[in-house]
Structure 1
Amino acid sequence: MSNSQVMEEPLTHRIYEDCFAIVIGTSMVSFGVILLKQAGALTGSIAGLAFLLHYLTHTAFGVFFFLLNLPFYYLAIRRMGWPFTIKTFSAVVCVSVFSEWHPLFIHIDQLNPFYAAIFGNILMGVGFIVLFRHKMSLGGINVLALYLQDRGIIKAGKLQMIIDTCVLFASFFIVSKEMMLASLIGAFIMNMIITINHRPERYLG
């Protein structure tokens, strides 16, 4: 048998590697959240819902992000198992905490909304890839979409698109048209980053 015919099993990540990935990935996502929040921009999924509630109530984004994810852990356990769920829970906690810690160390006085929406979503997209490569996510709609797809109810991509559309539609009532456009461009860029780089058949690890 030639070497080209030999398929080696990909090595699993060690615990310290997963911990390092959680810190790096969630640091990037949470800093992206800070840029979006500073500019008053939005995004989709659970983070988008957390932003809407934050803007409406002025309660910390991290509080809503943590609470909105709680109902989805049951589905995560059933579909992905305990290791995935524990790592995902840890990642959600880190984003919730880090998004409140960043302003203690950096304050941005002037920020272009389009720059914030685009670069913030770039950071979030790369952070998501770091987490996905270590078999974890930030919970929420992603878990629900995969669960319903497994049961043959609806394709994961379709549900994700429906939820994101609803979140962005609701934002018409609280953000300007300029900010809506910036948010749509940013969300598109983030989804492209994930679509291009999160390809199991292309990348291992």
Structure 2
Amino acid sequence: MANADGQKTPVGFWASASDRHSIAEDIQGIAAGSMLAALGVTMLASAELLIGGTAGLGFLLRYSTGLSFGLVFFSLNLPFYWLAYRRLGLAFTVKTFSAVAFTSVLTEVLPAFITFETLHPVVAALFGGLLIGTGMLALFRHRASLGGFGILALYLQERAGWRAGFVQLALDLLVLALSFFVATPFVIVCSIVAAATLNLTLAINHRTDRYIVR
């Protein structure tokens, strides 16, 4: 944003502008988004549900092999950083890497501090999907994502005008189709509810023409 003299308003660690976040705001936004997403993942895992995207692939591998979700989720996202760097820039890539790493760590740590004695799968689907979607919304607004399909969805929204939520929903349904090999029909239905809640949260609330801060 330019001031009255035509010069851009400086943005530093604390100072921000109307069209750009400060570094401190980015750190807070990425941390908050990652924390919300990790809590949502914890709820889904407690109810043994799945979700779409690389997180869904992480759940599939966790349930079928017993591997750590955090490690699998972090590893699955590695190939997408090149696309992020080439298409969306270094800043986006660094922020996304930080968000994925923090979320991966939190998903491993939270179960030691948070347990659910009673958690109905439908409740887990609705609240877990909403938490992950809200977390991703916070990350999107700070020019970051949870990697994987989120990078592709955000790229297509910016380049082709396709709504990120709907793009990710289509990709997520492909992942959920694989869940038929490891889950019961009821779990699959609840997982679809979680994916729909997540992506509708993004589709309704994330539009680049309404929120343009960088």
- For the criterion TM > 0.5, the same-fold answer is yes
Report how far residue 116 of structure 1 moved.
0.6
- The residue aligned with 2:58 is 50
Distance 2:165 2:101 in 1: 25
| Structure 2 unaligned residues grouped into runs of 5+ | 1-16
User: Does the aligned pair in 1 maintain the 2:168–2:199 contact within 8 Å?
Assistant: no
Report how far residue 142 of structure 1 moved.
2.7
Q: Does 1:101 align with 2:109?
A: yes
More helix by share: 1
Which stretch has the larger CA shift, 140-149 or 123-132? 140-149
Distance 1:198 1:60 in 2: 31
Q: Which residues in structure 2 correspond to 1:1-205 (within 5 Å)?
A: 10-145=18-153, 160-205=168-213
User: Does the aligned pair in 2 maintain the 1:42–1:48 contact within 8 Å?
Assistant: yes
Report how far residue 146 of structure 1 moved.
5.6
Distance 1:40 1:79 in 2: 35
User: What is the aligned-residue identity percentage?
Assistant: 46
**Distance of aligned partners of 1:181 and 1:133 in 2 relative to their CA distance in 1, 3 Å threshold:** same
How many residue pairs get aligned? The number is: 197
Report how far residue 170 of structure 1 moved.
0.8
Distance 1:156 1:29 in 2: 17
Moved over 4 A (4+): 145-152, 154-159
**Distance of aligned partners of 1:15 and 1:93 in 2 relative to their CA distance in 1, 3 Å threshold:** same
User: Does the aligned pair in 2 maintain the 1:26–1:127 contact within 8 Å?
Assistant: yes
Report how far residue 73 of structure 1 moved.
0.5
Query: Secondary structure of the residue that 1:42 maps to in structure 2?
Result: coil
Distance 2:59 2:37 in 1: 14
Q: TM-score, normalised by structure 1?
A: 0.87
- The residue aligned with 1:3 is none
Distance 1:151 1:98 in 2: 32
User: Does the aligned pair in 2 maintain the 1:50–1:64 contact within 8 Å?
Assistant: yes
| Structure 1 unaligned residues grouped into runs of 5+ | 1-8
Q: TM-score, normalised by structure 2?
A: 0.84
